[in-house]
Structure 1
Amino acid sequence: MDSPGPFDAENQFLGSVLWSDLPGARALMAGMRPGDFARPMAAHVAHLAMQVMAEGQPPGPALLFDQAVRTGQARGEHRATWLSRELADLYGNAAGAVHGPRFKAAVLEHAYRRAAVRYARRLLQAADHADPAGIAARLDERGEVDALAARYRAAAGPDALDPPDIVRPAGRQPATTRREAA
């Protein structure tokens, strides 16, 4: 996987969190999950931030690094060096805490798109190999996609582009022929 640039949404969002005081960081991280991030290191940093904030501390780079060392999440020189560089890059390249909400919406939009791709792949696999009941069951397994769409809309606010429906429930599919419409 290609390494993202320093100004991609995930890096900028996490940098915004690192620049925030505790109330600001809590507001930014509200509703976020480590699984919302595409890069494992970004997910790890988000998890560390959540742990530090749960202890009532602002998620500054030094506190996240200390948390990782204290809890054994940065064992060994290589991991500790990798994490310290990641935190320094996130902090140093961030546009600032004020832009956090914008980047949060972008992170959630990308997470929504990845969830939609996973959902589509499961549907495709079911269409190729499952009986009709199996396909119908897969159509109903859209909880992750719907939850991410709702979190994206909440983060993006009233100016957000609504994520499109992936598949409408069977009762709401538009009729394709006059006979079906009647």
Structure 2
Amino acid sequence: MPTNDLTDPERAFLGCLLQLPATAARRVLAGMRADDLASAAAAPVLQLVIELVAAGTDPAPVAVYAHAVATGRAAGQARREWLSGWIIDAYRDAPPPALTNHLKAVVLEAAWRRALFAHARRIEQSLDTTDPAVLRELADDGMAAAAELWSRYQSALHPQPRPAREVPA
């Protein structure tokens, strides 16, 4: 029985992606990277999905699994069984595909917050021991990554409408 459990937005996001055709998934994946996901299970699956969609293949569960096997990322029986189970569970328990864009924004917001936290932690750890010039450089370097994530998050929150196709007269 599907749970539609949104307590794991990364898994829910992937489950939604697995239901989309390649063209729709390509639009959703614009501005996404596998390392935007924190989950050690979800990030590699997102990378597989990104590769499939880039090749024009629908990211259906069987295609993602076959791609993992073909590329050597599901080596060994135990890994293949675990991966197939994870993919099927994400697909089965996914919320409706209409939530894909919302979940993308949730995932990117979480990635942005993680980037800010990591940056703040690096600065905090360096405050007492680092030369002020180095500290200034550290502060600037970390903010670039957070700013880039913020930009992608904002794009996900406020997507630009697709232009309507002209109908021939």
Q: Counterpart in 2 of 1:29?
A: 29
Q: Counterpart in 2 of 1:132?
A: 132
- TM-score, reference length from structure 2: 0.87
Q: Distance in 1 between matches of 2:128 and 2:77?
A: 47
Aligned length: 154
Deviations 1:65-114 (A, max 9, x none): 00001111100011101110110111001112111000000000000000
Offset of residue 40 of structure 1: 1.5
- 1:83 counterpart letter in structure 2: L
Q: Distance in 2 between matches of 1:83 and 1:72?
A: 12
Q: Counterpart in 2 of 1:72?
A: 72
Q: Counterpart in 1 of 2:149?
A: 148
Structure 2 residues without counterparts, runs of 5 or longer: 160-169
**Amino-acid identity (%):** 38
Q: Counterpart in 2 of 1:51?
A: 51
Q: Counterpart in 1 of 2:104?
A: 104
Q: Distance in 1 between matches of 2:24 and 2:110?
A: 22
Determine which structure has greater relative contact order: mean sequence separation of CA pairs < 8 Å that are 6+ residues apart, divided by chain length.
2
Offset of residue 51 of structure 1: 1.2
Structure 1 residues without counterparts, runs of 5 or longer: 159-182
Offset of residue 50 of structure 1: 1.0
Q: Distance in 2 between matches of 1:38 and 1:135?
A: 27
Q: Distance in 1 between matches of 2:155 and 2:61?
A: 27
Could you tell me whether the CA contact under 8 Å between 1:126 and 1:134 is conserved in 2? no
Q: Distance in 2 between matches of 1:144 and 1:59?
A: 28
1:41 aligns with 2:41: yes
Query: RMSD across aligned C-alpha pairs, in angstroms?
Result: 1.3
Q: Counterpart in 1 of 2:95?
A: 95
- Report which of the two structures shows the higher radius of gyration computed on alpha carbons: 1
Q: Counterpart in 2 of 1:173?
A: none
Q: Distance in 2 between matches of 1:35 and 1:70?
A: 22
Offset of residue 153 of structure 1: 0.5
